[in-house]
Amino acid sequence: MATIRLKNITKRFGQVTAVDNLNLEIEDGSFATLLGPSGCGKTTTLRMIAGLEEPTAGEIWVGDQCVYSSETGEYVPPGKRKMGLVFQSYALWPHLTVYDNISFGLSIAKRPSSEIKSRTIAMAKILQIGDLLERYPSELSGGQQQRVAIARVLVMEPEVLLLDEPLSNLDSKLRMDMRAELKRLHLETNSTIIYVTHDQLEALTMSSHVAVMHQGLLQQWAPPMTIYSQPANVFTADFIGNPRINLVDGVLSKNGDVWEVVAGNIVLPFVAKNSTSTSLKEQQVRLGLRAEDLYLSKEPAPGLFEGSVYSVLPAGSEWYIKVKVGEEILTVTIYNDLNLTIDEPIWVGVFENTMKCFGERGTLL
């Protein structure tokens, strides 16, 4: 097992820079997710780690072994990197049973038959497909096929498991079940997993660390809850979270001794979230308010902002309320039915210390 380090990795396809000077250190045993919108460079990064794509520049290290260097010409081919790869479209061999699909790689590697049998059965058990070993792929559900595809790779005991959107073909219930299983599997096998997805919920629920990417550039590399509560910039704040974060243009200015943010009718004391941005100056900012960091009151009170109910969206266990405050429409999540009617007056509060303020360059202040 080994830590994976990407050092100044760049990949260009002609005029397109798919990955731009990426630095990442993925710790041994972690569940790292590459997250971002379509075309941001996730798959290219994964393929470079696997050895299927050659970087334009930079180095890739697995533990203390350099597996790629544009400087020295070092290149370890995919088969020698001890990594297993599962793509979105996992083609099982249709004419082979589940058992034969899983054990295929071990047979090719000419392992003794007793070992092949015990490893295949043990892996099928971990993935809860032990009772399906005699079936053919056409006799399996999508989720079962997916588990066979993962078992087939894991049985080879790769030190690193690379998964590229492996759940995207499944319906939402199966996806949820498979997320839980993958997370368990990670703990049980102690492997390092690098997972590619554009689904922020998938990244938040499964990962120990998330790399948010945009246009080939790394935006933030941190544990999921840090990304959620301290997004490094406007892009990350907007990409993570459902409903989307409320973003309101405003001004950061000093009122007497206190810094405050004035965004239309909303005035809030400034709360620094990023200890590295020390010297404050007056500037244009974007105020970020997550829907669950806001609350509603039918009565006015000090510190609340007056608005009117614009729209009510029930969502089962919670309600998303659109509230018009001045020129802005804010989304507020509430957990009890307030029996709101359209256009009725309502007051919005912001829970203490939850506001996020992004400075002129879009970075968290």
Residues lying near ligand ATP in the complex (CB under 6 A) are found at: 13, 16, 18, 36, 38-44, 198
Residues 233, 245: contact at Cβ < 8 Å? no
Q: Which is nearer to ligand ATP, 89 or 311 (CB)?
A: 89
Torsion sign (Cα): 48, 50, 51, 52 = negative
Please give the distance of CA 236 from its chain centroid, rounded to a whole number.
Answer: 10
**208 or 215, CB closer to ligand ATP?**
215
Strands 209-214 and 192-197: unpaired
Q: By the 8 A CB rule, do 11 and 55 touch? A: yes
Smallest distance, ligand ATP to C-beta of residue 170, A: 16
Q: CB-wise, 220 or 246, nearer to ligand ATP?
A: 220
Q: Would you state the structure tokens that stand for residue 218, as one six-digit string?
A: 């790394």
84 vs 276: CA distance, rounded Å: 39
Token pair in block for residue 212: 């948010």
Pick 46 or 98: Cβ nearer ligand ATP: 46
Per-position b or e across 247-276, b if 16+ CB within 10 A of its CB:
bbebebbeeeeebebebeebebebeebeee
Burial, 146: exposed, middle or buried (Cβ in 10 Å; 0-12, 13-18, 19+)? buried
3-state secondary structure of 187: helix
- Closer to ligand ATP at the Cβ: 88 or 311? 88
Using alpha carbons, list the distances in angstroms from residue 50 to 41, 79, 89, 139, 163.
14, 9, 17, 31, 11
Question: Which CB sits closer to ligand ATP, 16 or 180?
Answer: 16
CB of 38 to ligand ATP, least distance (A): 3
Closest approach of Cβ 21 to ligand ATP, in Å?
Answer: 15
CB nearer to ligand ATP: give 165 or 328.
Answer: 165
